Structures are given as structure tokens and as C-alpha cells.
Amino acid sequence: MHLVLFLIFALFALAGAVNLLLQKHPINSALSLIVVMSSLAVLYLLLGAEFLAMAQIIVYAGAIMVLFTFVVMLLNEGREEKTWGSHTAKTLGFPAVAVLLAVLSATILRAGRHYGMISLSDGVTTTQELSRVLFHDLLLPFELTSVLILIAILGAVALARKDNGEA
């Protein structure tokens, strides 16, 4: 059961990712990205990370992608243009992606030996367990990260305001 669901949604994720690259219209690409994000959420759920799955949908598929579609809708950009840069990206991009994937998977597989692996039919990690780790064992890094994000938000607001002066 888990394996069937995994195959279906992994396929969705891959198809969405490929479609994201192939589509010429930016809004179709944005929608494909939503499919990728949502399928990833299901994969998290299959691994028992229920809170992470929902956060993935609320934050990524919901909030962030709405901003993407917003920008696309407001700019109403038509078709993509081929420039010199896009040809270079094509020739360099594929090998670069292959190398990056190889490095990432090697690192993850090696780390798996240290920290142990989880399999598809393992039990669910409840939100309580997750929050105990976040707010007890890793409290300082967690709070520091949130302060960092707050600073980034303030910085973004400050940068966006600069052009308009006293807007």
C-alpha cells in the first residue's frame, strides 16, 4: 500500500518537475511547481512526518507559490526569450545537475549509516515528539534561526522601501 502510493506520488513529483522545465508559459511552470510541492508533502506523510507534510503544503504549496503566481499574474509575462545565457545554461546545466545530484545522494547515503534510515511503513512521528526536539533539544539553534529570518524580513522591507523614499 505504502509502496504503491510512493510510486504514484514520486511519479507525480517527477512529472511535475519535468513539466516545469518544458512549459513555455510561466504560470504553467508555477502550477507544475505546486504539483511537485504537494507530491513531496505526500511523500513526507508516507515517511510518517505528518507535521512536516502539512507545513510543506501550508507554507510552500500555499503561501510561497501564491506569491509566485501573484507575480506572474501581475507581470503577465508572455513567452520566454532565448538568450546567449540560456544556451550556456543548457550545455553546462545538465552535467552540473548530474554532479550535484551524485554528491547529494552520496552524502545522504553516508549520513544514513550514522543516523539510521527510516522506511516507508514505519510509524508516525507525532507533532509532540517533533516539538519536543525543536523546543527542547534544539532550542537555541531554532530560536536563532527565527531571529535570522526576522532580520531577513526587515532587511527585505528596508530594501523595498528605499526607492520610494518616504512612502
Asked if residue 74 binds another protein (CB under 8 A), the reply is: yes
Residue 92, all three cell numbers:
553546462
Minimal CA–CA distance to 69: which of 24, 30, 122?
Answer: 30
| Among 3, 14, 18, 63, contact with another protein (rule: CB under 8 A) | 63
Judging by beta carbons within 10 Å of its beta carbon (0-12, 13-18, 19+), is residue 60 exposed, middle or buried? middle
**Rounded Cα–Cα distance for residues 116 and 30 (Å):** 35
Considering only the stretches 12-20, 58-66, 86-94, 134-142, report the one whose residues sit in contact with another protein under the rule CB under 8 A: 58-66
| Among 20, 62, 125, 134, contact with another protein (rule: CB under 8 A) | 62
Asked if residue 69 binds another protein (CB under 8 A), the reply is: yes
Map residue 64 onto helix, strand or coil: helix
> For binding to another protein (CB under 8 A), which residues are involved?
27, 31, 34, 38, 50-51, 54-55, 57-58, 61-63, 66, 69-70, 73-74, 124, 126-128
